[in-house]
């Protein structure tokens, strides 16, 4: 298999990264937050130069640009043309407070912005609805169903659970809204399919409580990692908190490249 085919296969599995360049507060608080809750991998980008350089690692990305910020409109036109020339598989969308119909036509017809031209003056809920429809068409999730954050280097991310009349602690390796993997200092010998209640998970400053079933175990860099699946009784608010943690976790890692 060629490198190109291998890259395409990997992208279809992991999905596409969605960057919002110079987003306004409503875009951050409403659009990006909703995309994360819908399990899309969305990021805030605050440096167009660094984002352009980073695209060599993410050549199948989607970028929504606030063209009202940082550069004159003519400079944004050049930047978009550069993207289209250098990374033809990157898809672009635009946000602007302008109601100029000629401007909208230029971006869609001349600059080939295929992911929409959205007004910053309208209700963001409508924009969210349209963006979600576009992301479905672009298969932005790929075959990945749930966003997952790795946490093995975070000292304040841990799990505490009742076991044989006492509480035992573990370090969380990764987490999604459906489950997590963790490593105990001493292997407690947990049984597959065993249900454990009142599990407390600390995710940085967040503290959540769940019930979970032992799905199995695996070797993780020479250590035994247990995999837990959360039960269907998980509080919807807990899912919201987990997704918020995942968003912050992924953004912090991506910041090293794009901000």
Taking all residues of the chain, what is their mean pLDDT, rounded to a whole number?
93
How far, in Å, are 60, 177, 182, 194, 195 from residue 190 at the CA level?
A: 41, 22, 12, 8, 10
pLDDT of 1: 37
Tell me the C-alpha distance between 227 and 29, whole Å.
32
**The pLDDT of residue 6 is above 90:** no
Tens-digit pLDDT profile for residues 98-154: 989 999 999 999 999 999 999 999 899 999 999 999 999 999 999 889 999 999 778
> Rounded CA gap, 254 and 259, in Å?
8
- Does the pLDDT of residue 9 top 50, yes or no? no
* Predicted local distance difference test score (pLDDT) of residue 144: 86
pLDDT score of 3 more than 80? no
Identify the structural domains of the chain with CATH numbers, from first to last.
3-145 (3.40.50.2300), 149-250 (2.40.10.220)
SS3 99: coil
* pLDDT score for 12: 59
pLDDT at 158 over 80: yes
How far, in Å, CA of 66 to CA of 229, rounded? 39
Is 44 or 234 the better-scoring residue by pLDDT? Answer: 44
Q: How confident is the model at residue 2 (pLDDT cuts 50, 70, 90)?
A: very low
**Tens digit of each residue's pLDDT (9 = 90 or more) over 170-225:** 999 999 999 999 999 999 999 999 999 999 999 999 999 999 999 999 998 889 99
| pLDDT at residue number 72 | 95
| pLDDT value at 250 more than 90 | yes
Mean pLDDT of 222-243: 94
pTM: 0.91
Residues contacting 103, CB < 8 A, separation 6+: 73, 96
Query: Average of pLDDT values for 35-56?
Result: 97
- Say what the pLDDT of residue 155 is: 80
Residue 54 and residue 152 in contact, taking contact as beta carbons nearer than 8 Å: no
The helix/strand/coil state of 68 is coil
**Is residue 24 very low, low, confident or very high in pLDDT (cuts 50, 70, 90)?**
very high
Beta strands in the chain (DSSP E): 17-21, 41-45, 62-66, 91-96, 117-119, 149-150, 157-163, 166-175, 179-184, 195-203, 206-220, 223-230
């Amino acid at each position: 298999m060629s490198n190109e085919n291998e890259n395409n296969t990997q992208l279809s599995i992991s999905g596409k990264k969605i960057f919002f360049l110079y987003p306004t507060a409503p875009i951050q608080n409403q659009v990006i937050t909703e995309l994360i809750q819908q399990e899309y991998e969305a990021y805030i980008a605050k440096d167009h130069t660094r984002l352009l350089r980073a695209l060599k690692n993410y050549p199948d990305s989607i970028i929504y640009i606030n063209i009202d910020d940082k550069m004159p409109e003519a400079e944004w036109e050049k930047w978009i043309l550069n993207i289209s020339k250098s990374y033809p598989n990157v898809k672009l969308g635009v946000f602007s407070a302008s109601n100029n119909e000629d401007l909208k036509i230029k971006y869609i017809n001349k600059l080939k912005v295929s992911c929409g031209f959205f007004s910053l003056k309208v209700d963001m809920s409508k924009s969210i609805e349209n963006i979600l429809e576009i992301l479905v068409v672009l298969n932005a999730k790929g075959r990945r169903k749930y966003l997952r954050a790795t946490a093995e280097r975070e000292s304040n991310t841990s799990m505490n659970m009742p076991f044989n009349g006492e509480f035992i602690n573990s370090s969380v390796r990764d987490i999604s809204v459906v489950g997590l993997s963790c490593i105990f200092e001493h292997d407690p010998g947990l049984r597959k399919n065993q249900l454990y209640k009142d599990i407390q998970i600390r995710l940085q400053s967040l503290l959540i409580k769940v019930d979970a079933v032992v799905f199995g175990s695996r070797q993780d860099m020479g250590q035994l990692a247990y995999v837990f699946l959360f039960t269907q009784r998980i509080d919807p608010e807990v899912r919201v908190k987990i997704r918020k943690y995942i968003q912050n976790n992924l953004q912090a890692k991506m910041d090293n490249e794009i901000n």
